[in-house]
Amino acid sequence: MAIDEEATLGCGRRIDQVWANIENPPDVHESSCPDCTDARSRLGRLADATRELRAADLADADLVPRRAVKANIMQIARAEVRRGRRLPLLRGEDAANGALEISEQAIAGVARATADRIPGVHARRCVVTSADDQELATAQPAPEPASISINLRISVSAETQIPATVELLRTKIIDDVAEEIGLVTRKVDVLVEDVHDA
Amino acid sequence: MPPASPVPDTPVSVGSRLDPDTVVARAQDGDLDAFEQLVDLFQVKLFRLAYRMLNDRGEAEDTVQETMIIAWRRLPSLATPAAFNGWIYQIATRQCLSILRTRVRRNTDVADADTFVERSSPDDGPDRTAEKSAALHRLNAVLATLPDEQRACWVLKELHDLSYQEIANILQIPVSTVRGRIARARPLLAEGMSSWR
Residues of A within 8 A of B21 (CB-CB) are 124, 155, 194, 196
Angle at B83 between CA A173 and CA A67, to 5 degrees: 85
Reported ipTM: the value is: 0.79
Q: pLDDT, tens digit, for every residue of A129-149?
A: 988 876 555 555 667 888 999
Using CA atoms, how far apart are residues B189 and B159, in angstroms rounded to an integer? Answer: 14
Q: Is B11 exposed, middle or buried (0-12, 13-18, 19+ CB in 10 A)?
A: exposed
The Cβ of residue B46 has, within 10 Å, a number of other Cβ atoms equal to 28
HSE on the CB side for A65, CA within 13 Å? Answer: 29
If one counts every other C-beta atom within 10 angstroms of the C-beta of residue A173, the result is 24
Q: Which residues are bridge partners to A185 per DSSP? A: A148
Please indicate whether, in this complex, the C-beta atoms of A69 and B182 are within 8 angstroms of each other.
Answer: no
C-alpha–C-alpha distance, residues B151 and A62, integer Å: 22
Distance CA B93, CA B140 (A): 18
Which of helix, strand or coil describes residue A123?
A: strand
Confidence band of B55 (pLDDT split at 50, 70, 90): very high
**pLDDT single digits (tens) A40-82:** 998 998 999 999 999 999 998 889 999 999 999 999 999 998 7
Tell me which chain A residue has its CA closest to the CA of residue B156.
Answer: A54
- Flag if A3 and B184 touch (Cβ within 8 Å): yes
Distance CA B187, CA B165 (A): 22
Nearest to A130 by CA among A67, A85, A70, A75: A85
What's the pLDDT at B197?
Answer: 42
- Nearest one of B29, B36, B13, B79 to A152, comparing CA atoms: B29
* Cβ–Cβ gap B194/A84 under 8 Å: no
> How would residue B103 be classed by pLDDT, with cut points 50, 70 and 90?
confident
Model pLDDT, residue B120? 37
CA of B107 vs chain A CAs: smallest distance (Å): 24
Judge whether B37 and B72 are in contact, CB under 8 Å: no
Distance from CA of B108 to the nearest CA of A (A): 23
- Contact call for residues A60 and A73 (beta carbons, < 8 A): no
Asked if B149 and B170 touch (Cβ cutoff 8 Å), the reply is no
SS (H, E, C) A47-114: HHHHHHHHHHHHHCCCCCCCHHHHHHHHHHHHHCCCCCCEEECECCCCHHHCCCEEEHHHHHHHHHHH
CA quadruple B36, B33, B18, B44: dihedral, nearest 10: 10
For residue A65, what is the nearest residue in chain B, using CA coordinates?
B61
A95 — contact with chain B (CB < 8 Å)?
A: no
User: What was the pLDDT predicted at B136?
Assistant: 85
For residue B139, the chain A residues in CB contact (below 8 A) are: 46, 49-50, 53
A124 and B21 within 8 Å at the Cβ level: the answer is yes
